[in-house]
Amino acid sequence: MSKSSPKAVQVKIQPEKPTLQVQSLQGLASQLLSSKIFQYSLVIIAITFISFFPSLKGGFLSTWDDEKYVTGNQVIKELNGEHVIKMFTRPVNGTYAPLPLLTFAIEYKLFGDNPIPFHATNLILHLLCTLLVFKILRLLKLELVFAAFGAVLFAIHPMRVESVAWITERKDVLYGFFYFASIIAYIRYVAESPQKQKFLVYGILLFVGSLLSKIEAVTLPLSLLLIDFLMRRPLNMKLLTEKIPFFLLSLFFGMLGIYIIYRVGLHTPELLKTDRLLSFSSRLLYGLYAFTGYIFKFFVPVSLCAMYPYPIMTGWTMIWIRFLNPSLIVVLIFIVGWSLRKTRTITFGILFFFFNIFFLLQIFAVGNGFFADRYTYIPYFGLIFITLWFIGEVAKKYSEKRVWILITLAVITVTGVAGTFSRSNVWKDEVSLWSDVISQYPDRNMEPYVNRGVAYTVRHDWENAIKDYTRAISIGPVSAEVYADRGIVYGFTGQQENAVADFTKALEINPKNTKALFNRGVTYGNMGQADRAIIDFRRVIVQDSIRVSAYAGLCILLMEQKKLDTCMLLAEKGLKIDQYRSDLYAIMGNCELEKGDPDKAMATFRHCLRIDYNNIDAWLGLAAAAVIKDDHENAVKNLELAREAAQQQNIRIDTFDDIRNAGITLLDIKKAAIQKLFTLRR
């Protein structure tokens, strides 16, 4: 039996999956690039980025809440469980905004106090909001080109600058992102999709994100009802019951907001209570005036300002606010009602604007302003929808004029880019911002002068700072804080008598103003009036037991008086409040050195330097202790390190007289050791 012939070897050719995948990806990329929606989106992003580019170069505005939310907010300085809990359980500056705080904490963890990433995040969130607006306009059946122009108008309207260029107003762009995303989810729910219920759940979850970003999001259920109205959904029980979670969330966060406003209102500084005497009827008239003002600035965005003062009720302004403006609103209501015969669009847009601006009209609130550009971030969507719908209808009716309509929209876009670009530059720093406010409303409000005075103080521009504080005092109302701030500048410029006079005036206005009391103590100390300084510092500690600077000031005076035990006891109390106060460790080291314990003093000085490596006093203390222990090599080394630390602070300590002139406290033993060291080095 013959053996069968061997089987032919069959080679299986595997399909070139990677090649197909590459081709598939290339096809998707090509399809995406050829998509008009994608192309429009890229154009929208580019236009928006160019418009707000100057905002990326801005800094923190410490006089306009950035200090309260970011630079001076210890809760965001360390990202841990305890601080996250505080973000979600405690208001900041009278607002409940845990999600913005959480984003600040993440940015601070990654980038420290560099303002660029904070501004970049604001801009990115604004870009996302813009794309969401583009999507909503498309879902509401606007023609693609007009939906794109609507998104551009939303993005680059100059009234947007405050929300984007101001880091603190992360609240606006973040709550706007969740707000618009929730609307999209709801529209998808309303559409007859196979898995429509999940979109309702998404809408609720996104609504929670919006509420946790800014309480003004409570208006979303009303906006959803307007969506139902526009999409002609029948009014039935289902339409109402499906929104029960939305209304319950609105009620809860609304009550929370009222509680926070009430609690903060009890502690509002006197210079902010500018409308506390207004009657309800006056606040109503101002609210109506603001309502039409927002509509006017939508079409003519001129004379924008970071702080609008209340208009003065005289002459033509009084006639307009009391009579003409309310009449105009009645006419507007009539027009909206009449338009219902032909379309629901105008009613939808006006009511969307009204519902989302109503709680921001300051009719029921107290504060220092009744009008703000940032309040329009969500409400302007209603006006944008009406405007682009109307333009679209005109384009349909007069198709031969379509090109001219598009050219007009392009011109409006260019104008908007220029206006927003220019306005973004105004927000680059505090001096620029408050100078802009003052140029538009000179002598109308003390706060812009105070804020610019603080900005000048930070710049060490003492002359302009004093001018602004003096102008603020002349405008009023009388404020202990402003006298205290001017007194500090007088102290820096060596005008000690004027400084004491201002601090004393501040204390006459408010005896519990510990800033004035503390700084008067510092001034008395600089004037050689130690007994008066000690009295002031002790009063500060009684009134504000956690003001560690008062402990430090008192310890220095007691140390100079050789009351070493009392000095060390107070330093220990201060360190229990703040264990990272390097100056208190330096004081304790000096006392230990003076009491004849160089080894213990060296350990204390080293601990001080672990907290603050550039503490000059601690390096000099180590140098003095080394001299006492006859360790000349380390004494010279530590003196050189003290000189390097001084150079970092622009202080000169090349000679013993330099050290004394630098204001560094030298007790007898340390003084003798440092003198000996300089003598030996010669």
pLDDT of residue 271: 41
pLDDT of residue 657: 86
Indicate the pTM of the whole model: 0.84
CA dist 38 and 469 (Å) reads 53
Q: Give residue 17's identity as a one-letter amino acid code.
A: K
Contact 199, 189 (CB under 8 A): yes
Closest listed residue to residue 453, CA positions, set 501, 495, 493, 488: 488
pLDDT of residue 476: 87
Closest listed residue to residue 517, CA positions, set 530, 529, 531, 533: 533
Q: Which residues contact 677 (CB under 8 A, 6 or more apart)?
A: 623, 624, 627, 635, 636, 639
Contact 619, 638 (CB under 8 A): yes
Task: Report in angstroms the alpha-carbon separations of 672 from 156, 221, 270, 619, 629.
Answer: 68, 76, 52, 16, 13
- 160 alpha carbon, distance to own chain's centre: 15
The per-residue DSSP string of 323-366 comes to IIHHHHHHHHHHHHHHHTTT-SHHHHHHHHHHHHHGGGS-SS--
Q: Is 299 exposed, middle or buried (0-12, 13-18, 19+ CB in 10 A)?
A: exposed
The per-residue DSSP string of 288-325 comes to HHHHHHHHHHHHS--S--S-PPPPP-SHHHHHIIIIIH
pLDDT of residue 104: 97
Classified as helix, coil or strand, 675 is: helix
Q: Is 612 exposed, middle or buried (0-12, 13-18, 19+ CB in 10 A)?
A: middle
Q: Give residue 482's identity as a one-letter amino acid code.
A: V
pLDDT of residue 136: 97
pLDDT of residue 24: 67
Closest listed residue to residue 135, CA positions, set 121, 154, 110, 116: 154
How open is the CA angle 176-181-186, to the nearest 5 degrees? Answer: 130
- 486 alpha carbon, distance to own chain's centre: 25
pLDDT of residue 191: 84
Q: What is the pLDDT of residues 267-287, one digit of tens each?
A: 444 444 445 557 888 889 999
Contact 464, 456 (CB under 8 A): yes
CB atoms within 10 A of CB 506: 26
The per-residue DSSP string of 115-170 comes to HHHHHHHHHHHHHHHHHHHHHHHHHTT--HHHHHHHHHHHHH-GGGHHHHHSGGGH
CATH architecture label of 582-682: Alpha Horseshoe (1.25)
CA dist 203 and 539 (Å) reads 55
pLDDT of residue 277: 59
The boundaries of every CATH 1.25.40.10 domain in the chain are: 582-682
CA-derived radius of gyration, the chain: 33
Q: Please list the ranges in the chain whose pLDDT falls under 50.
A: 1-16, 18, 20, 266-274, 366
| Residue 437 in tokens | 């406010």
CA dist 110 and 222 (Å) reads 39
CA dist 341 and 345 (Å) reads 11
Q: Which residue has the tokens 């006056």?
A: 282
Contact 443, 463 (CB under 8 A): no
Classified as helix, coil or strand, 191 is: coil
| Residue 242 in tokens | 């499906």
Closest listed residue to residue 665, CA positions, set 553, 566, 573: 553
Contact 490, 498 (CB under 8 A): yes
Contact 384, 154 (CB under 8 A): yes
